[in-house]
Structure formats: structure tokens, C-alpha cells
Chain A
Amino acid sequence: MTNNILALEKVHHRYSITRDIFNDISLTIEEGGFYFITGSSGAGKTTLLKLLSSTLRPTGGDVFFLGKNINNIPQNKIYEIKRQIGYIFQDFRLLPHLTTYENVALPLRVQNKREKNYKSDVIELLSWVNLEHCVHGYPNTLSGGEQQRAAIARAVISSPKLILADEPTGNVDNFNSEKIMRLFSEMNKMGTTIVIATHDQNLISKSIVNRKIIEIYNNSIRTIEEL
């Protein structure tokens, strides 16, 4: 029996009166699943990720995270949900004034955890993503692939239940892209639910068994494939 980590029920979202993004969509994300969100440019992949991460509240309908309706959670308590989600941005969003180590440790720092309790975990994770040589380097000294791996390390350091990745391989070459997908695959095997938004069909076809594909089309979505 599988549990749903996330569920959208009749979600409607619009940015303006003339621009509807989603019309009454329903979707379930199962715990431990591996999902791809696809769709043409501007279809709403990032918006869907934002709805799933509770960064955006839908204009209509309900979003459930581990059975809790996010609409019923006060705005100043939403951080409790966000701490259980790792988000990988398309543009990495590493803070330029912090070192790689500090950037990766940031989710733990915002949870007011003591450095002595997480220092070794961060170093270990950085070596797992082959960044041990730039622990004290600043993001502007890292290559695109290194920044991407640092962003992934930051998303997984707090052991989130769910990882949402927005075009995680959009800025890296094929070699690094495959490496990143292997990382996601490893994390998925350890039980983390992965949701990746991408328009790269190659990425979908060459990766992961038991994947599910969510396609966005005409303000609606459908789960089209399960392999």
C-alpha cells in the first residue's frame, strides 16, 4: 500500500483574470515515487512546483501535504511544511556571500541547529557530491556543474521527505546531467520522493525505472506514463 505525500484536489490557479494556469487539476504524489513534470515552455511547470512546495497558494482548491490541508495552515506556520521539502532552483540560488559549506548548511542553520551537530554531515555530503575541494570556495569560484551539485546538496542536507527540482540539468553539460540524475536515483532508492520539472525528453528517457510522467497541457495535467 502506498501513501500520498502530496495531493492536489480540484486546484485552480490564475495569475490574472485573463490568464488561467490550471483549471481544477487533481494530482497525487506517492511517497518514494519518482516523477517528471513536462510541458512546453510557459505551460506552468514552475507554477506547479510552487504549488506543490506551498510557496504559492492556489486561487481555488486544496493542497494536502502528508494529509494536512495547506490552506488551513496559517501563513506564519507554513515554514514547518517547507522544512520537509528540498527545493532545487533552476538558477541554483546559492548565496554569493556564503561559502559552499555555509550554503549547503543553510537549511540546518535556519532550523537553529548547532554547527557542531551538523558539521561532519555537511562535509560528508559535500564529498559525496564531489565538492570536497571547494568547501571554503565562494559560489562565484565554482563551475556551473559544481554550483548545481552544491544546490542539490543544500536541498538534501536536512533529509527532506520530498525533493522538488526545477530544470535541475538545464545549465549543465551531458556528463554532469547524467551525474545529477544518478544522484537523484540514489536518493530515490533511499526513500526520498523526487519530482523533477523538465522539458528535456532525453533526460526522461535515459533515466530511472518506475518513473511517472505528469504532462501539463491546456491548463490541465495528466499522468501519462508509468514504466
Chain B
Amino acid sequence: MNILNTVLNSSEKKSIRQLAPKPSAIIPDNTLHNRYLFIMIILLCYLKSIILTSLVSMIGSPEFSALSINLVQIGLLSWIFIAGLILAIISFIIIYGTHTSIIYNKNTINLLIHLGASNSFIIQRIVFTFLKIGLLSGIFGSVLGFVTFLIMNPFLLQIGRLLNDLSQIVEITNRSSSLQYIILLSIPILSMSASTLSSYLTVRKLIRKYN
């Protein structure tokens, strides 16, 4: 056991931490507000990953028949629609988050401009915060989705088999799993890209008001 923890009271521990602080971000990124955004985007990425992987599982690997082609087409359209919808929601959340972050850090931004910070310096700091949120929440959402997928996959295959048995056309295989892994891997990248782009466009527009 660390002897300091037993001997020092909390205020003394705090003052010792202050003697060796870790380098701080100029524009604070660990705000309560950003944590809420982070959790919301994790949930969205999680939702996206389980919906998309489930969809792929349920469609399976269809033979070329009228019914299965329709199924694939509907599945593909749903895939694009859901992926687009969730990305749009993430982008709107990030736009809102960037607005709030700029308002919350108004005094800091004003001071930085007074001290000679360029627009790109401020844009980089704010966008990097949302890039991190997008990437990390995408990774967390994907990992949670992967765990759910491992648990749910046998049931989904059963549902898929049942659906396809009814049509008596389609044979279910596990070949779709590689696509599911690609989906899981692409979620952090898509989430990060959507967050970075939305944040960049928002902050670039808003920063002009501070000059």
C-alpha cells in the first residue's frame, strides 16, 4: 500500500498533485457536457453496430432468386439508410457540442486571440477534442456491439434460418461474418470522420465572430 495514501488527508494529497500537475489542455475538454456527448455517441455507435451486424446476419448469404434479391436490395437500402441516419444524428450532436463548447470557453478563446493565437491554433484544439470523442466512442460502441454480436449471433442465425426456410430458397452460411467485422471496424472511422468534419465546419464558421 502506498504510504502517502495512509498518511495524507485529501487536501494534502490534492496539494501534492498540484506540485506535479500533468500538462493541461488550453481549452478544457473533460467537461461534464463533453462526457454526456461521449456517452450519447457511444450509444449511437453501439446501436449502429448491432443493427447493421444483425441485418447482415439475418439476410445471410442468399442464392439468386427473386425473393432473395429483393431481400438483399431491401437490406442494402436499410443498411445505407440506417448508417446515414446515425451518422447524421452524430453530426448534429457534434455541431451542437461544438457550439456549446465555444460558448462555454468564450473567455478562454477571447484571451487566446488577445495573446496572438491564430484561428487555426484554436480550431485545431477544439476539433481535436471532438475527433477524440468520435474515435473513442466509435471504438467503445463497436466493442460493445461485437460482444453483443457474439452473444446474439446464434439466435440471429436461427431467425435467419427460419425466415429462409420459409422461403425454401436460401441457404444460411457463416460467410457474412467477414462483412460484419468490416462493419464493426468501420464504425469508429465513420464516427471519427463525421465528428471531425462537423466540428471543423462549425468552429471555422463561429471563430470569425471572435476576431
Contact = CB atoms under 8 A, between A and B. Distances in A.
A120 to B, nearest CB: 17
Contacts of B108: 95
B26 A98 contact: yes
B119 interface: yes
Given A76-B211, A136-B18, A136-B19, A97 B28 contact: yes
Interface stretch (A12-20, A101-109, A219-227): A101-109
Interface in B93-112: 107-108, 111-112
Nearest to A112: B121
Given A76-B211, A95-B108, A109-B26, A136 B117 contact: no
Contacts of B114: 53, 55, 82, 87, 93
B28 A79 contact: no
A83 interface: yes
A110 B21 contact: no
Given A93-B107, A93-B111, A137-B18, A82 B116 contact: yes
Interface string A152-185: 0010001000000000000000000000000000
Contacts of A102: 23-24
A218 interface: no
B115 A82 contact: yes
Contacts of A82: 113-116
Contacts of A87: 114-115
A137 B121 CA distance: 26
A136 B107 CA distance: 22
B205 interface: no
Given A93-B107, A93-B111, A110-B112, A98 B119 contact: no
Give the contact-size bracket for chain B: 20 to 34
Interface string B7-21: 000000000001111
Given A76-B211, A98-B26, A107 B116 contact: yes
B115 A107 contact: yes
Contacts of A110: 26, 112, 115-118, 121
A64 interface: no
Interface string A74-89: 0110111011010100
Given A93-B107, A110-B121, A136-B18, A79 B113 contact: yes
A97 B116 contact: no
Given A75-B211, A95-B108, A98-B26, A111 B116 contact: yes
Contacts of B111: 93, 95, 106
A74 to B, nearest CB: 10
A138 interface: yes
22 contacts: A76-B118, A76-B119, A79-B113, A79-B118, A87-B114, A87-B115, A93-B107, A95-B111, A97-B28, A98-B24, A98-B26, A99-B21, A99-B24, A102-B24, A110-B26, A110-B115, A110-B116, A111-B116, A112-B121, A136-B19, A141-B18, A158-B116
8 smallest CB-CB distances across A and B, nearest first, come from A83-B116, A110-B117, A82-B116, A75-B211, A107-B115, A79-B118, A79-B116, A97-B28
Given A82-B116, A97-B24, 19 more contacts: A53-B114, A75-B211, A79-B113, A80-B116, A82-B114, A87-B114, A97-B28, A106-B112, A106-B115, A107-B115, A109-B26, A110-B112, A110-B115, A110-B118, A110-B121, A112-B121, A136-B19, A137-B18, A154-B115
